[in-house]
């Protein structure tokens, strides 16, 4: 009887050890929807912060991938600051969504194994005046095949449509150093352009530059303002003929001797073609 017990213990010991190791590993690798995580501050030092997440448990299966998500959110936030070295992370809220209906703009092929991450990061950092203040940054990015992937400019967007009294999507394009141009058409066939120029005057020049380097030039009619808004009349027939057949490459605005030029992402290069089609 004693020999039988000893034999049974010897037989079960490797199994128990294997189970214990596997169970420990499972606990280590489990990603939860809230807790603490380690990140890097502006000085390159480790900081522990709290996080909350919608969809992490369901869509992020390993700590390795979760660490990549935290690292990318950290990098996007820090690099957007005036003084990145002053970055002190406080907490992060994540939303992780599995994307099942994304297609490439160029060939309309389905994109598989993609999740979208939306990250709201709370932090302390110095502003442009050197004062240390609390702030929040909202960023989004894609993970494809367990790697951070630059898909934002490659994904086919929803076609333009009339949405009640508005057009469903503006042409919102960002450049370097916080430069931007936002083109907003209205159902009444008028054009509003907001830019990072700040102060703009009557007679501001707005250029739409096509992939073949042809261009359309519009001139604003509104009074001087320091809110960055310029107003333009609708396109004439010759301009419409160009817009409906050619894709765009750049947007450019000039006022009072200052200018902004932005490169239009490939997946928005057909914006005006869709817009003109919408008004047929």
C-beta of residue 193 within 8 angstroms of C-beta of residue 214:
no
Is 133 found in the same domain as 187? no
- Mean pLDDT for 258-262 is 96
Judge if 74 and 141 occupy the same domain: yes
Q: Is residue 156 part of a domain?
A: no
Do 190 and 249 belong to one domain? yes
In-domain check, residue 2 = no
Average pLDDT, the chain: 89
Residues 274, 180, single domain; the answer is yes
> What pLDDT band is residue 29 in, cutting at 50, 70 and 90?
low
Q: Answer yes or no: is 10 within a domain.
A: no
Query: Tens digits of per-residue pLDDT, 195-246?
Result: 999 899 999 999 999 999 999 999 999 999 999 999 999 999 999 999 999 9
Q: Which residues pair with 163 in a beta bridge?
A: 166
Dihedral in degrees, nearest 10, Cα atoms 10, 11, 14, 19: -130
- Residue 1: pLDDT over 50: no
Tell which of 122, 149, 176 closes a domain: 149
Whether residue 58 is contained in a domain is answered as yes
Answer whether residue 154 is part of any domain. Answer: no
Domain boundary among 149, 171, 201: 149
Count of domains for the chain: 2
Note whether 135 and 123 are within 8 A (CB): yes
- DSSP H helices, 169-270, are 237-243
> Tens digit of pLDDT for each residue in 95-133?
999 999 999 999 999 999 999 999 999 999 998 888 999
User: Which of 234, 235, 224 is closest to 197 using CA atoms?
Assistant: 224
Does 129 lie in the same domain as 183? Answer: no
- My answer on whether 132 and 204 are in the same domain is no
Question: What is the dihedral sign for C-alpha 84, 86, 89, 92?
Answer: negative
Q: Do 181 and 227 belong together in one domain?
A: yes
- The tens digit of pLDDT for each residue in 125-177 reads 998 888 999 999 999 999 999 999 999 999 999 999 998 889 999 999 998 87
- Based on the domain organization, do 133 and 209 belong to the same domain? no
Of the candidates 120, 149, 178, which is a domain's last residue? 149
234 in a structural domain: yes
Q: Is the pLDDT higher at 18 or at 62?
A: 62
Which has the closest alpha carbon to 239: 195, 192, 207, 280? 207
Domain that includes residue 130, residue range? 34-149
Judge whether 117 lies within some domain: yes
């Amino acid at each position: 009887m004693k020999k039988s017990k000893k034999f049974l213990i010897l037989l079960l010991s490797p199994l128990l050890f294997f189970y214990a190791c596997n169970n420990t590993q499972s606990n280590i690798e489990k990603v939860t929807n809230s807790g603490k995580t380690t990140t890097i501050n502006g000085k390159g030092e480790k900081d522990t912060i709290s996080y909350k997440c919608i969809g992490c448990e369901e869509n992020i299966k390993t700590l390795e991938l979760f660490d990549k998500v935290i690292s990318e959110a950290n990098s996007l936030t820090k690099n957007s600051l005036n003084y990145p070295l002053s970055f002190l992370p406080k907490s992060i809220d994540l939303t992780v969504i599995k994307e099942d209906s994304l297609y490439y703009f160029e060939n309309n092929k389905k994109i598989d194994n993609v999740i979208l991450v939306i990250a709201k990061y709370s932090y302390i950092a110095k502003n442009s005046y050197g004062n240390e203040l609390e702030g929040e940054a909202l960023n989004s990015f894609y993970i494809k095949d367990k790697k951070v992937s630059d898909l934002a400019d490659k994904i086919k967007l929803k076609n333009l449509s009339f949405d009640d009294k508005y057009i469903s999507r503006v042409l919102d394009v960002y450049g370097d150093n916080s430069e931007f141009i936002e083109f907003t058409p209205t159902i009444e066939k008028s054009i509003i352009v907001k830019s990072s120029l700040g102060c703009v005057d009557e007679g501001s020049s707005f250029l739409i530059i096509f992939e073949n380097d042809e261009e359309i030039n519009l001139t604003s009619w509104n009074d001087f303002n320091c809110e960055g808004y310029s107003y333009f009349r609708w396109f004439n027939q010759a301009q419409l003929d160009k817009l409906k057949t050619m894709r765009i490459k750049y947007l450019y605005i000039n006022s009072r001797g200052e200018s902004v030029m932005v490169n239009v992402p490939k997946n928005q290069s057909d914006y005006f073609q869709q817009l003109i089609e919408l008004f047929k």
